[in-house]
Structure formats: structure tokens, C-alpha cells
Amino acid sequence: MAGLVLYKYLNKSIYDIEYLLGPMFTWFIIFSREPFIPSSLIMLALLIGIPKTKIKKISVLTLIVISSISLLFLPFDEYLYSITSLNYDAIIKNEAEESGLLGVITSIFYPIIIFF
């Protein structure tokens, strides 16, 4: 995803299939690796921007459809509890107690901070 965003801002050619694969990779990240959700959504937003072309609209729709289908087969209450309450208790609460606000910000921007 980062390479596609870089290609976009270097005005290099991005194929239609890459616009379709971006939302699929983002979906995979959303439902498997929670710390990387903010960075993957930001990269997808930078890649697609305001969806004016047909392929960009299809890629946004692809992310919405596959995410909706995934949520249909999950016990939504348990899933929401898992990603909010359990993560808060296990990660954010400990970071806040140990490092204060800086620890919370660090945990939110972890995927970006690991590069520095």
C-alpha cells in the first residue's frame, strides 16, 4: 500500500487491478492486525482520494461489501467488545498509566512510529 501511495504522488502509473487489491489488503489488515488499522485506512484514503473515477468507486464499494459480509458472520457484540474493551484494558490503559498521554499517542500511531 505504501508503494502505491508513493507511486501516486510520483505521478507513476497505477493499474486498475491495484486499485482493487488495495481495499482487499486493507480489509485483511482491519480484520487481522488491529494496530495497523489507522495506517492502512490512511494509506487507502491517500491512494483513492475522492472517488471520482469508476474504478475508485468500485474499490470503495469493494471494501464496504467485503467488510459487511465479514461482519454478518461474526457475533457483532463479542467482536465489538473484543476490539474496544479488551484492547483498552490490555493496551491503552497500561500505556496511559505508565507513560501518560504520550503512551496513548504512541500506541495509536505505532505503525508509523516503528519506522523512526
- Is pLDDT of 81 > 90? no
Cα 92 from Cα 96, distance rounded (Å): 6
The H-assigned helical ranges of the chain are 2-9, 16-30, 37-48, 54-72, 76-81, 87, 93-99, 101-108, 110-113
Q: What is the pLDDT of residues 28-76, one digit of tens each?
A: 988 886 677 778 888 889 888 888 899 999 999 999 999 899 888 878 7
**Distance between CA atoms of residues 58 and 49, nearest Å:** 13
Query: Tell me, what's the pLDDT at 108?
Result: 65
pLDDT tier, 23 (very low <50, low <70, confident <90, very high otherwise)? very high
What is the model's pTM? 0.66
